[in-house]
Amino acid sequence: MFILSSPSGAGKTTISRMLLDADSEIKLSVSVTTRPMRPGETEGVHYHFVDDAEFDRMVGVDDFYEWAHVFGHRYGTPKGRIRGALKQGQDFLFDIDWQGTQQLFQKDQQDVVRVFILPPSIEELRRRLESRGTDSPEVIEGRMERARAEISHWDAYDYVVINDDVDACFAKVAEILHAERMKRQRQTGLIPFVRELMG
């Protein structure tokens, strides 16, 4: 489970898209949500859409790595679906904040890799947020406050990458993913292979 976190505007979404486009071995983790499906969304691609009763049932049987209330709806990472696919050697990309990262790490440490992306400077972060042209100055101030709070948790991550150049940042993130896959305990099928060599 490969986690990318960053403050808003530091490039996490861009790097995530680049990674998913470049590497067929990793899939985006699809969350379960109680919010209604929006036009253009597809069940199982954007989210797994469920009602409150089903979400409650999943909470009751401990079928979430982590879940949270966001803007009046609930979102969660389904444990059963991900565990099954991990056993088959499927890697998952998570685009979550530090709180979700903590919850995921507490439940399944050996399968979690935590990467935090930092902006090159706080001024550059503000410039990126302003250049989107989607938010009012008040909203940008709020995002800057949240960004400082998020950045304060940088040391809870295994890797920290500064995004001063998107291609260089992507290359570093891809290297981290590759190296983590090479760890002995993550190589599926290695035990029978080695037994045969020693046979």
Indicate the domain borders of the chain: 2-198
Q: Which residues pair with 162 in a beta bridge?
A: 118
Calculate the alpha carbon distances from 100 to 5, 55, 134, 177 in Å.
Answer: 10, 17, 26, 20
Query: Residue 9 has what pLDDT?
Result: 87
* Strand ranges in 79-192 using DSSP code E only, listed in sequence order: 91-95, 113-118, 159-162
Provide the 3-class DSSP secondary structure of residue 8.
Answer: coil
Helices and strands in the chain: count of H runs, count of E runs: 8, 9
Q: How many CB atoms lie within 10 A of CB 126?
A: 17
- The domain defined by 2-198 carries CATH number 3.40.50.300: yes
Per-residue pLDDT for the chain (199 aa), expressed as one digit of tens each? 999 999 988 999 899 999 999 999 999 999 999 999 989 999 988 899 999 999 999 999 999 988 888 778 999 999 988 988 888 889 999 988 888 899 899 988 888 999 999 999 999 999 998 998 888 999 899 989 999 999 999 999 999 999 999 999 999 999 999 999 999 888 878 999 999 999 8
pLDDT at 162: 97
Confidence (pLDDT) at 93:
96
Alpha carbon distances (Å) from 23 to 18, 178, 184:
9, 10, 21
* Cα–Cα dist 116/3, whole Å: 8
Cα–Cα distance between 114 and 180 in angstroms, integer?
A: 11
Supply the pLDDT for residue 189. 84
